[in-house]
Amino acid sequence: MTWEGLNRRQFPRVIYPCLIKISCPGQKTENLLTHTENIGLGGVCVIIKKEIKIFTDVEVEIDLLDAFDHISTRGKVVWVVRRTSIEALKPMFYDTGIEFVNLAGQHKEHLQETINRVVKNGAEVLRAIY
C-alpha–C-alpha distance, residues 122 and 25, integer Å: 37
Please compute the mean of the pLDDT values over residues 53-67 and round it to a whole number: 93
Residue 1 has pLDDT above 50, yes or no: no
> What's residue 88's pLDDT?
65
What is the per-residue DSSP string for 48-80?
A: ESS---TT-EEEEEEE-SSSSPPEEEEEEEEEE
Please compute the mean of the pLDDT values over residues 2-18 and round it to a whole number: 64
Residues 17-26: tens digit of each pLDDT: 899 999 998 7
Residue 38 has pLDDT above 90, yes or no: yes
Please compute the mean of the pLDDT values over residues 110-129 and round it to a whole number: 84
C-alpha–C-alpha distance, residues 50 and 34, integer Å: 11
What is the model's pTM?
Answer: 0.83
- Strand residues in the chain grouped as ranges (E): 13-14, 19-23, 32-39, 43-48, 57-63, 71-82, 94-101, 125-126
Residue 61 has pLDDT above 50, yes or no: yes
Query: Where exactly are the structural domains of the chain?
Result: 13-126
In CATH terms, the fold of domain 13-126 is Thrombin, subunit H (2.40.10)
> What's residue 83's pLDDT?
82
